[in-house]
Amino acid sequence: MELTLVVLIIIVGLTFDFTNGFHDAANAIATSISTRALTPRAALTMAAVMNFCGAFLGTEVAQTVGSGIIAAPEDDSGLLLVMCALIGAIGWNVFTWWRGLPTSSSHALIGGLVGAALAASATVHWSGIVDKVVLPMLLSPLVGVALGYVLHVSILWLFRRSTPRRTMRRFRMAQTVSAAAMGLGHGLQDAQKTMGVIVLALVTAGWQDDFSVPVWVIAAVAAAMAAGTYSGGRRIITTLGRRIVHLDPPRGFAAETAAAAVLYTTAFLVKAPISTTQTITAAILGAGATRRASAVRWQVARTIVTAWVLTFFGAGIPAAAIYLVLHAVTGL
């Protein structure tokens, strides 16, 4: 039973990572596609490659997710808990993708872990959730908005005497770099969350003693995310790239650069699992607001923020329900 559960968790974990890739593909490329800096296929290919490379840049966030969110029971019920958490997160990802909502796969996963843990009467590290999840969740969008706004204002001032056509052409070229940086940051941040859950399962089963991430886990997760990203989530790409605010190349460059800076800082310095979706969405809002506040479609933004708030519950409640059903059926 233990071997079966671990194998299932790895399979379900990689499935979650695939849904994370196609759900969050828009994070890296929506702005580049909407400004026509890159074609959709070229953008998806580049994002997939950068996602794969980004997954190998660090494991600090993975260790935070694996050890700092919950303490799963060290038996088959703990493995069942982890599997149900992943299923709850996958369900929320698929639902929000279908609705075209750019929600956080990271927070869906954490919500699933907490919901299943509460149903299993397992330990939840609330202090770690506050420090590593809630505070970064609140601060990263604010920093994204501010940095996106400041960067675009700086661009407007620096290029105020430049020829508009030449400036737009240059920033379309620059967006290739900023989109690549965003894709790398997405792989760095989001791939590590699935790594952390798989390692949590390995530790729970007693197959390893610490939360270090084996190379085979990194490679498998990186490949699954890259494949999901390449398949693309066009519904969310449309929402991020066109429905929130009209973007031109300078605004797209400012938004991507701001979001990438936040992703790298939180991954390497804070070691916190922040949402790439929230960060890029906030940066787009900040860059778009430099034109005028009315240029932002605030009704769409409010819908997105509401979905952000509901993410923990949308993944956690199904995860808890699935755990209770399977626990009753299997006796684990």
pTM: 0.85
Label residue 26 by pLDDT band (50, 70, 90). Answer: low
What pLDDT, in 10s, does the model give residues 133-166? Answer: 888 888 888 999 999 999 999 999 999 888 888 8
Binned at pLDDT 50, 70 and 90, residue 11 comes out as: very high
- Burial zone of 246 (CB within 10 Å; 0-12 exposed, 13-18 middle, 19+ buried): middle
> In which band, very low, low, confident or very high, does the pLDDT at 39 lie, cut at 50, 70 and 90?
confident
Residues 11, 218, 265, 308, Cα dihedral to 10°: -10
For residue 27, the model assigns a pLDDT of 62
pLDDT > 90: percent of the chain: 34
pLDDT of 262 reads 92
CB 60 within 8 A of CB 270: no
Polymer length in residues for the chain = 332
Alpha carbon distances (Å) from 152 to 155, 262, 298, 324: 5, 16, 19, 50
Q: For residues 144 and 283, is the Cβ–Cβ distance under 8 A? A: yes
pLDDT digits (tens, 9 = 90+) for 55-85: 998 888 888 888 888 988 878 889 999 999 9
Distance in angstroms (rounded) separating the CA atoms of residues 42 and 53 = 17
Instruction: pLDDT band for 115, please (50, 70, 90 cuts).
Output: very high
- Name residue 61's beta-bridge partners: none
Which domain does 212 fall in, by range? 1-330
How many Å from the N-terminal Cα to the C-terminal Cα in the chain? 10
Of the candidate ranges 155-159, 184-188, 285-289, the one whose mean pLDDT is the lowest: 285-289
Which pLDDT value is given to residue 332? 76
| pLDDT the model gives residue 40 | 76
Query: Looking at residue 267, what DSSP letter applies?
Result: I
Residue 324 has pLDDT above 90, yes or no: yes
What confidence score (pLDDT) does residue 308 get? 80
Check if the beta carbon of residue 253 is closer than 8 Å to that of residue 309: no
Residue 299 pLDDT greater than 60, yes or no: yes
| Res 2 pLDDT > 80 | yes
Identify the pLDDT of residue 242. Answer: 55
Where do we find the tokens 């920033």?
Answer: 171
> Is 70 exceeded by the pLDDT of residue 296?
no
Mean pLDDT value across residues 229-244: 62
Report pLDDT for 195: 93
Q: What is the pLDDT of residue 300?
A: 66
- 273/62 Cα distance (integer angstroms): 8
- pLDDT tops 60 at residue 241: no
Q: Count up the domains in the chain and report the number.
A: 1
Mean confidence (pLDDT) of the chain? 85
